[in-house]
Structure 1
Amino acid sequence: MVYQFLEKNKNLSTEAVIYGEDKITYKELFRKSSLLGRKLSGEATDTIIICIPNNIYYVVSYFSILACDKIVYPISSLSKQDEVISAIERTGSNVILCTHDYYEQLKAMCQNSNIKIICVDNETLYDSNTDDLESICYVESKINDTCVLLNTSGSTDIHKIVMLTQKNIMTNCTDWVEGALDTSTHGKVLIAMPACTSFGTVVITTCVLLGWTIVFMPSFFNSATLLQTIGKEEITHLICIGSMLNILASDVAKLGPSNYNSLKFIGIGGNKAVPETMKIMMKYFPEVGLSPGYGITEATCIVSGIHPDISRNNKELFYEKIHSAGKPYRNSNVKIDNREGMPNSTGEILIGGSIVMKGYYNNTQATKAALNNGYLHTGDIGYFDEDGYLYVVGRIKNIIKSGGYTVFSEEIEAALQNSGMVKEAYAYGIPDPILDEKIIVDVIPIDGAINVLDIEEYCLQHLAKYKIPSKIQFVSDIKKTKNGKIQRKVYTLNE
């Protein structure tokens, strides 16, 4: 099971996680996860919420919950009160793990709830004289048990919660190792994206499977800090979202030369890096293998990718396939739902195999709609070329991919319509070279006294930062279908 990835490496003196000047070995990570797991095993809830930014204690919390056979539910540390309360109410959890920096904030958010908030960076939690750590907490799981819940967007009652099993996560990790990673040398992996996402979950778990070192950024993302961390920590693998790489590519020439010889691999997820970005990175990092791909939380995370050796050793082929999402990994059974069945024929991307989620948590109707005849209906439009490379060209779902996060249009619309200032709202994304998509909202105000600044202030108070619209514009009409629903266009990624 997933926890046994850590147990296998329990005696390693290798650094497991680095966060700034803070470090923890695998031996100590196992000790702390086991001791915290023992304490959590006595909690009545089946699901435990993690509300921790990227740091050592996120990883400790993740494995401690798995150790006692409970379900991990990570939420963004940027979550607002409405989102935290929604997470509690929808899962029935009454335990939140945090660090001391967030304790008072969470306590204020949950003051009217019967919630236990545990500061996992309180070192007294780990006081113990026992050496028999396995016997004090580990509970054997079954391979098809749900072990992780992940939000498909960010929160509130609009989004769905994906149930991933032990088998889902283990399979996706081993697929990624087989299809993209060179395990002949030790890896130091810089994760420059939120740990609470599906990609963050799979990368962390894979690193622990391999006994590699996880490195978190000591501050919010910026190019100078990222490159400094690569040099200082001798990073071998950089994992980031496409929009981050777009920023890095635009800054790397300005920041001057330095020693980044340790870097061998860049994995790109979340949203697409533009082709010009990847060409710039190949120029400045010629020995680095680039591995862009396609993933979706409902299929655990990683579905397909371009092998990193191609950008290093066959640039002509890489440039030819640069718009693609690579080839599906071993347990990603991908097909295109179209009548033609021929290469280059577009249709909805369907995914089968052991990486497909168990379903949506407490949402039978949505599960039946998404899982049909053994396949996940992704809502993404794509095609295979004659060489078996997958291309993702559009979407039929009402989602916005912005800055590596997936946000439901209806989620923002519902929040605004609950404000008392808005009669109708239509949220959508428009292409952006940095964020992938900017969030735009067309609004019909409830009366003439309402202004845009009032609505912007409401968004700041009730939406997580990454969901706040880049632009709010007042309109007199929002087009509807014959059934009275908002007339949303099918978004094409190349528009």
Structure 2
Amino acid sequence: MNLSSRLAEVAGQLPHKEAYVYEGERCTYGELNAAVSQFASGLRHLGIQKGDHIALLLGNSPYFVIGLYGALRAGATVIPINPIYTPDEISYILNNGDVKAVIGLDLLVPLFVKMAALLPKVEHVIVCETPQGKEQGISLTGKMKSFTELLLSGDAHYKGPELADDDVAVILYTSGTTGKPKGAMLTNRNLYSNAQDTANYLKINGEDRVIAALPMFHVFCLTVALNAPLMNGGTVLIVPKFSPAKIFQLTREEKATIFAGVPTMYNFLYQYEEGKAEDLQTLRLCISGGASMPVALLKNFEQKFKVIVSEGYGLSEASPVTCFNPLDRPRKPGSIGTSIMNVENKVVNEFGEEVPVGEVGELVVRGPNVMKGYYKMPEETAHTIRNGWLYTGDLAKMDEEGYFYIVDRKKDMIIVGGYNVYPREVEEVLYSHPDVVEAAVIGVPDPNFGEAVKCFVVSRNPNLTEEQLIEYCREHLAKYKVPSSIEFLAELPKNTTGKILRRALKEQLTSTEA
């Protein structure tokens, strides 16, 4: 079974059930499956063969859903790309990923025209029309085709070629914290198994109405808020762009049952003054991932809105989910939960040996969700996957009940005078201060101790001082963990999923000092 064939199966069983809702537009499973077949058929007419690579440069929309599933049904490999990447970032992925066709918004047409000479392998650009594009009078040229016309030209009964479990379905380019982005190759089996195992673990079913406000080109949304509900007859409530007002309104009007977001989204929802508990009363579950959620924020959110937040963990290379807090036992604040079904997690030392309960080591993962490898990077693949285990690069510990706790990224650990300081534990203390809205902690060079702890804080109180906050940290942290300096900012840099970027803060600091 794979995503495309399972969609067809669900459509056969529930043809009139709502598959998605987008800006008031409602689409049934029968309609969606027909559109997917039509688009896949249109791609075949263009000459797209099984195994060809197709890039999606799209935000959250029906275009993304039909483009993704249509390309998969045609046997192509899909490469989702953040549409707000720079031309250099986009051209690198398109060239490195050997992309034959691109599906993108008409607003990107000027970019495609400008980049045409740099993309010799791209044979087709399939353009999705938008009201803004029409207003600007954007017209198609050269290799460009209309998404709508291609869709209408296809056969609604097209089945597509046979797909093997081990065929690469999606290549996800990781953000590339060091060097160029790496393309994680996820197979049909990887994606389908993780969607179903996550759905089973979180009991996502046909009664659920799941808000997809995270970017669909990001694997968290792709698996948890798109594939998992669609594979089980649920309804996806597509949000083109996250805003607290939109989430409260949509939840109330569409009777949403599940919301998935990153901690920053929960912070925005919590801070939104007009948000009320009754707006979210239909939610049975909130899911948090993408970054560690401060315990203070989790407790405050649950108390204010009377809804459980289940924190989990995943990474692109694992399709992505490996852990979630279980629903049939007490949730442990600060924990990423226990291994989901069919996936194993363990904590190991530098020799790959499992460490005792409570000790910190590197989290490694094994299961049907683990990627095939990095595209055209055998050495990186061999370094990351060893003896069948995926080495995550995250430092973690496990308690006696099998709950895992992410301590920090291996590379983010700060060493102060020989002592390990994990940014997260300092951030937890900062978030517990009533005047702190957001916080991020990094290590900076120190002539005496090797490194020192530096904090960046967004405060709701303009009178809060650096000295007051450092004193607060002294009351809650060991001496070597106390920040040496705190800088107040209007906002913290984030990526498109809302994850705070420590790397950008480090770069900003380096350029300022230079």
Which residue in the other structure is 2:298 paired with?
278
Which residue in the other structure is 1:132 paired with?
157
Which residue in the other structure is 1:235 paired with?
256
After superposition, give the CA deviation of every residue in 1:276-304 in whole Å (9 maximum; x if it has no partner): 22222222332x33210111111111110
Q: Is the 8 A contact 2:97 2:183 kept in 1?
A: no
1:108 aligns with 2:108: no
Question: SS at the partner of 1:382?
Answer: strand
- Cα deviation for residue 105 of structure 1 reads 3.2
Which residue in the other structure is 2:267 paired with?
246
Question: SS at the partner of 1:473?
Answer: helix
Which residue in the other structure is 2:491 paired with?
none
Counterpart CA distance in 1 for 2:294 and 2:150 is 46
Which residue in the other structure is 1:483 paired with?
none
In the superposition, the TM-score normalised over structure 2's length comes to: 0.74
Shift of the 129–306 alpha-carbon distance from structure 1 to 2, 3 Å rule, reads closer
Which residue in the other structure is 1:215 paired with?
237
Q: Is the 8 A contact 2:334 2:405 kept in 1?
A: yes
- Cα deviation for residue 124 of structure 1 reads 2.2
Which residue in the other structure is 2:363 paired with?
349
Shift of the 261–97 alpha-carbon distance from structure 1 to 2, 3 Å rule, reads same
Counterpart CA distance in 1 for 2:375 and 2:363 is 23
Which residue in the other structure is 1:200 paired with?
221
- Spell out the pairing of 1:391-402 with structure 2 (5 A cutoff): 391-397=405-411
Give 5+ residue unaligned stretches, structure 2. 130-146, 414-422, 432-436, 446-493
1:331 aligns with 2:342: yes
Counterpart CA distance in 2 for 1:464 and 1:267 is 19
Give 5+ residue unaligned stretches, structure 1. 311-316, 400-427, 443-462, 479-495
More relative contact order in 1 or in 2 (CA 8 Å, sep 6+)? 1
Q: Is the 8 A contact 2:95 2:119 kept in 1?
A: no
Which residue in the other structure is 1:7 paired with?
8
- Spell out the pairing of 1:74-85 with structure 2 (5 A cutoff): 74-85=80-91
Which residue in the other structure is 1:119 paired with?
127
- Cα deviation for residue 469 of structure 1 reads 3.4
Which residue in the other structure is 1:453 paired with?
none
After superposition, give the CA deviation of every residue in 1:33-67 in whole Å (9 maximum; x if it has no partner): 11111122322671100000011110000001100
Q: Greater CA deviation, 226-235 or 94-103? A: 94-103
Q: Greater CA deviation, 162-171 or 13-22? A: 13-22
Which residue in the other structure is 1:92 paired with?
98
Q: Is the 8 A contact 2:362 2:396 kept in 1?
A: yes
Question: SS at the partner of 2:509?
Answer: strand
1:305 aligns with 2:324: yes
Counterpart CA distance in 1 for 2:11 and 2:263 is 34
**Structure 2 residue corresponding to 1:289, chosen from 265, 284, 308:** 308
- Cα deviation for residue 171 of structure 1 reads 1.3
- Cα deviation for residue 107 of structure 1 reads 3.0
Counterpart CA distance in 2 for 1:78 and 1:97 is 14
Count of aligned pairs: 416
- Cα deviation for residue 27 of structure 1 reads 1.5
Which residue in the other structure is 1:416 paired with?
none
Q: Is the 8 A contact 2:269 2:275 kept in 1?
A: no
- Cα deviation for residue 155 of structure 1 reads 9.8
Shift of the 435–361 alpha-carbon distance from structure 1 to 2, 3 Å rule, reads farther
Counterpart CA distance in 1 for 2:94 and 2:76 is 15
Counterpart CA distance in 2 for 1:120 and 1:363 is 32
Counterpart CA distance in 1 for 2:379 and 2:40 is 34
Q: Which amino acid aligns with 2:150?
A: L
In the superposition, the TM-score normalised over structure 1's length comes to: 0.76
Q: Is the 8 A contact 1:440 1:469 kept in 2?
A: no
Which residue in the other structure is 1:359 paired with?
373
